[in-house]
């Protein structure tokens, strides 16, 4: 006698690996063979997750074309199926997967463009959080710099690339009717570092210099302000930590802070 667990393990193998052999003896096959019935579920799994990835990565799809995108997405779904039913959280690893399938130096920018699309998706759906009140800092004005740990808004992330990914992304917002974008982009134009976050209801981004990006990266890792300053100043001795912090507060990128000795967010 088979158990419910046996059936579900066999069903998962049929969907993920196209191996219906263990499941089909359990399936009633009146009018239509068991394998054909099982395939309906496998097809739905593959098609629905391909569509899900296409919604999150429209520019990646425009760049590589629908056929190739779908081919990569189908393999990704089988190799890395979703861990949870919240599908707007699915696909972070897809751009890297697609880039690795596409083993060509000429397309090295694909993973970075996808990472930017992921940052936009992430920022849109991230949990809400009130921005930091600058007055809250007054309560901790006596504290040392190595005590401060600033918290970025849950929507904030950093995307860095050696390629002009923002230009590529913009050029693919308006795809021409013949499928070709309306601009030619010189990949040698240089790299970019972008801070992406949600401001009110809108996903926004800001270009950062190397020192600024290094500063934000340390804050994103929840390391103390002191470390962020040292890291940024190593990139650029002219870096202005106070001006940078004021800018992050003004842009509502900061959600609060805690102290190394007291993890309560203020």
Binding to other proteins by residue 229, rule CB under 8 A? no
Rounded Cα distance between 236 and 209, Å, is: 9
- Of 17, 18, 21, 48, the residue at the interface with other proteins (CB under 8 A) is 48
HEC sequence for 195-255: EEEEECCEEEEEECCHHHHHHHHHHHCCCCHHHHHHHHHHHCCCCCHHHHHHHHHHCCCEE
Q: 203 forms bridges with which residues in the sheet? A: 198
Binding to other proteins by residue 75, rule CB under 8 A? no
Binding to other proteins by residue 130, rule CB under 8 A? no
Binding to other proteins by residue 144, rule CB under 8 A? no
- Of 19, 22, 75, 87, the residue at the interface with other proteins (CB under 8 A) is 87
Minimum CB–partner distance for residue 7 and other proteins (Å): 6
Minimum CB–partner distance for residue 58 and other proteins (Å): 15
Q: 194 forms bridges with which residues in the sheet? A: 159, 207
The residue among 38 and 225 lying less far from other proteins, judged by its C-beta, is 38
Binding to other proteins by residue 36, rule CB under 8 A? yes
Nearest Cα to Cα of residue 58 among 183, 221, 170, 224: 170
Binding to other proteins by residue 265, rule CB under 8 A? no
Element of type H or E holding 47: helix 34-56
- Of 54, 78, 108, 126, the residue at the interface with other proteins (CB under 8 A) is 126
Take residue 134 and report the two structure tokens written for it. 């600058």
Binding to other proteins by residue 74, rule CB under 8 A? no
Minimum CB–partner distance for residue 128 and other proteins (Å): 4
For helices 66-79 and 94-101, what crossing angle results, to 10°?
A: 120
The residue among 107 and 124 lying less far from other proteins, judged by its C-beta, is 124
Rounded Cα distance between 53 and 186, Å, is: 27
Strand residues in 134-224 grouped as ranges (E): 148-152, 157-161, 192-199, 202-207
The residue among 47 and 185 lying less far from other proteins, judged by its C-beta, is 47
Task: Say if CB 189 and CB 167 are below 8 A apart.
Answer: yes
Tell me how many residues contact other proteins (CB under 8 A). Answer: 51
The residue among 48 and 183 lying less far from other proteins, judged by its C-beta, is 48
Task: Say if CB 84 and CB 194 are below 8 A apart.
Answer: no
| Residues that bind other proteins in the complex, under the rule CB under 8 A | 1-5, 7-9, 11-12, 15-16, 25-28, 30-34, 36-38, 40-41, 44-45, 48-49, 52, 81-89, 123-129, 154-155, 198, 201
């Amino acid at each position: 006698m088979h158990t419910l667990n046996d059936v579900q393990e066999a069903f998962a193998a049929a969907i993920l690996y196209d191996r219906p052999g263990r499941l089909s003896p359990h399936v009633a096959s009146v009018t239509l063979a068991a394998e054909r019935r099982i395939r309906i579920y496998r097809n739905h799994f593959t098609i629905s997750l391909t569509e899900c990835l296409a919604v999150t990565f429209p520019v990646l799809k425009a760049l590589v074309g629908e056929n190739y995108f779908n081919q990569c997405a189908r393999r990704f779904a089988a190799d890395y199926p979703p861990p949870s039913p919240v599908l707007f959280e699915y696909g972070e690893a897809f751009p890297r997967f697609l880039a690795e399938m596409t083993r060509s130096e000429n397309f090295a920018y694909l993973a970075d463009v996808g990472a930017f699309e992921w940052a936009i998706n992430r920022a849109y759906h991230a949990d809400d959080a009130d921005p930091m009140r600058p007055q809250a800092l007054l309560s901790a004005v006596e504290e040392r710099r190595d005590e401060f740990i600033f918290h970025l808004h849950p929507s904030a992330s950093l995307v860095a690339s050696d390629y002009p990914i923002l230009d590529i992304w913009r050029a693919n917002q308006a795809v021409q009717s013949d499928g070709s974008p309306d601009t030619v982009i010189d990949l040698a134009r240089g790299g970019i570092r972008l801070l992406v976050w949600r401001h009110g209801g809108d996903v926004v981004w800001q270009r950062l210099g190397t020192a600024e990006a290094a500063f934000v990266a340390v804050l994103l890792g929840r390391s103390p302000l002191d470390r962020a300053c040292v890291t940024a100043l190593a990139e650029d001795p002219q870096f202005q930590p106070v001006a940078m912090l004021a800018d992050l507060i003004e842009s509502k990128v900061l959600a609060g802070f805690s102290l190394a000795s007291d993890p309560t967010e203020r």
